Amino acid sequence: MWGIVWGTSFGCGGRAMKRAAKPLDVKGIEALKPREATYRVSDGGGLLLEVRPTGAKVWLCRVMVAGKRRDMGLGGFPSVSLKAAREAARLARVTAREGLDPIEERDRKAREQAAEREAATEAEARTFKAVALTCIKAQSPGWKNGRTADLWQNSLEKHAFPTLGQMPVANVDRAAVLRAVDAVWTSRPATGRKVLRRIGSVLRYAAAHGWRANDNPAEARMLRHAGLPALPGGRKQPSLPWQKAPAFIKALDTMPGLAPLALRFTILTALRSGEVRGARWSELSFDGGALWTVPGERMKAKKAADVQPHRVPLSPAAVATLARAYTEATGTAAKVDDLPRLAALMGNAFIFPSAKRTTPLSDMALSAVIRRMNEKRPEGVAAPWRDADGREAVPHGFRATFRTWVDDTRPADSDAAEKALAHEDANQVRDRYRRSDLYDRRVPLMEAWAVHCEGGKEQTASRRSAAG
């Protein structure tokens, strides 16, 4: 049962105290008791088990390397079994016979394995998904809408990560991008474009950090040569013809809830739904006319270094909509004349809050209103609120409805209409010097638009010219 037992008179090595006929076995190892001094038991072939006063039992292998004795630790028992210790000792002896130091070889292999693990960890951290999440986190502080990061991540999780997520970002090529966007590209073109742009942004972010080649396999023009079909005409948001706006507003006024009022206010101000949904009572002013000042940071396309507020003149119809919104949100009746006082009392509260009251209506709330309005029709009958191509109208499309109304009925107000829409001049030099927001010209323009929307009579440009 026992191997050679080594005493401690020569340190941890030394003379043999007892020699057994058999090598070690598990029961014998378990029966070994600690002593006041460390001692060793030999299994033969240079394999030793060192028993320490603490009761710990540690495997050692004694080999000769270049004429020098080397004691190599193999781990503790029972974590390293007797069988495993014997195999480790055998390999150490083979290494020593080859003229190599088994301890140095073990350390070298450990360093190589650590480097491989580090490389594998780094590769895992450089998958498209990992880089995409890092990219979103890095960019999100500069995004004005707090939901933008969620929209990016959700769209990539649904359409990009299933194909690209686990690929090393360095290996993403045009074929992989094509596979990722293939299903959504033709079924939902607007979403397909967004996903492709976001994939491209992630790949550019990776290239900027040296994690892939400085190319962009998500570039749409190149992908078309690789088989990506062209989308039908880059279609704009579906918009209601301006002639139908009065009928739409009349139907909209029969819809209950706060979302229809938010949509009504969006139409009357010609702003984006996100700017309306984020509106707060503290942004209103009633001195010398009703005015809504939208903070620059909430306006789309404003540069961080040039954040300017956007002044919105409120027509009587828009102000009346605010009074209705107050009543709907608070349950307390409000008149137009009460609004200056009520707005001061409401302070920073949202004008169009969600059910939580501390957050605005969702971006889908206004779209859902139009969808419900279009559903209220006999089966087989076309949706009443649609564009010329038969596509159902969407909230953003009413900006085009307004702009087309200006072109067709008040072309002289084109510049004022662009300011009402908060568009930046494409000519950067001209935009740099034209700093007026044309507010005084926009006041009668927005009042005329509201009169049209509520079914009033507006003279067209041709009739005004004939009358003159």
Task: Write the pLDDT tens digit of every residue in 138-188.
Answer: 888 877 666 788 889 999 999 999 999 888 888 888 888 888 888 887 777
Tell me the CA end-to-end span of the chain in Å, nearest whole number.
123
Domain locations in the chain as residue ranges: 4-122, 128-225, 242-467
Which CATH topology does 242-467 take? Answer: hpI Integrase; Chain A (1.10.443)
Conformation bin of residue 420: beta by default, left when phi > 0, alpha when psi is -120 to 50? alpha
Is residue 102 within 8 A of residue 92, CB to CB? The reply is yes
Confidence label for 465 from pLDDT (cuts 50, 70 and 90): very low
Confidence label for 264 from pLDDT (cuts 50, 70 and 90): very high
Give the separation between CA 417 and CA 270, rounded to whole angstroms. 9
Of the candidate CATH numbers 3.40.630.30, 2.40.50.140, 3.90.420.10, 3.30.160.390, the domain formed by 4-122 belongs to 3.30.160.390
pLDDT tens figures, 380-406: 778 899 888 788 888 989 999 999 999
Which CATH topology does 128-225 take? Answer: DNA polymerase; domain 1 (1.10.150)
In this structure, which long-range contacts are made by residues 306-314, counting pairs with CB atoms below 8 Å and at least 24 apart in sequence? 310/275, 310/422, 310/437, 311/437, 311/439, 312/269, 312/271, 312/420, 312/446, 313/289, 313/439, 313/442, 313/443, 313/446, 313/447, 314/269, 314/284, 314/289, 314/290, 314/446
Q: What is the 3-state secondary structure (H, E, C) of 368-399?
A: HHHHHHHHCCCCCCCCCCECCCCCECCCCHHH
Rank 113-127, 135-149, 295-309 by mean pLDDT and report only the highest. 135-149
Question: In the structure, how many helices (H) and strands (E) does the chain have?
Answer: 20, 9
Work out the number of other CB atoms within 10 angstroms of the CB of residue 2. 19
Q: Tokens standing for 394? A: 């969407």
pTM: 0.56
**pLDDT at residue 259, as a whole number:** 94
Is residue 8 within 8 A of residue 14, CB to CB? The reply is yes
Q: Tokens standing for 147? A: 């939901």
Q: What is the mean pLDDT of residues 189-203?
A: 87
Alpha helices in 226-257, H assignment, sequence order: 245-252
Q: Tokens standing for 330? A: 């608070």
Give the separation between CA 375 and CA 377, rounded to whole angstroms. 6
